[in-house]
Amino acid sequence: MNAEVNSLIHNRRSVFPKDYTGETVDNAIIQQMLENANWAPTHKFTEPWRFIVYSGEGRKKLGAIQASLYEKKSKAEGTFDETKYNNMLNKPLESSHIILVYMKRDEKKSVPEMEELGSTFMAVQNMYLTASANKVGAYLSTGGVTFYKDANEAFGLGPEDKIIGFFHVGMPKRTDHVSRRNPVDAKVQWVNS
Ligand SMILES: Cc1cc2nc3c(=O)[nH]c(=O)nc-3n(C[C@H](O)[C@H](O)[C@H](O)COP(=O)(O)O)c2cc1C
**Average pLDDT of adjacent 10-residue blocks, the chain of 193 residues:** 93 98 98 98 98 98 98 98 98 98 97 98 98 98 97 97 98 95 98 96
Pocket flag, ligand 1, residue 140 (CB < 6 Å): yes
Structure confidence at residue 154 (pLDDT): 98
**Cα(139)–Cα(125) distance, integer angstroms:** 10
Cα–Cα distance, 168 to 173 (Å, whole number): 15
Q: pTM for the full model?
A: 0.97
Identify the pLDDT of residue 90: 98
> Distance between the two ends of the chain, CA-based, in angstroms?
26
**Domain residue spans of the chain:** 18-54+94-172
Residue nearest atom 30 of ligand 1, based on CA coordinates: 140
Whose alpha carbon is nearest atom 21 of ligand 1? 14
Ligand 1 centroid – CA 163 distance (Å): 16
Helix, strand and coil percent figures for the chain, each rounded to 5? 45, 15, 40
Judge if the beta carbon of residue 20 lies within 6 A of ligand 1.
no
Q: Can you give the pLDDT at residue 167?
A: 99
Our answer on whether the CB atom of 32 is closer than 6 Å to any ligand 1 atom is no
Ligand 1 centroid – CA 193 distance (Å): 37
Q: Which helix (H) or strand (E) holds 167?
A: strand 162-170
pLDDT attached to residue 146: 98
Return the best residue to mutate from 142, 162, 175 for the ligand 1 pocket (most ligand atoms within 8 A of CB). 142
Distance 109 CA to ligand 1 centre (A): 29
The Cα 190–Cα 116 span in angstroms is 28
Which numeric CATH code is attached to 18-54+94-172? 3.40.109.10
pLDDT at residue 15, as a whole number: 98
Q: Is the CB of 142 under 6 A from ligand 1?
A: yes
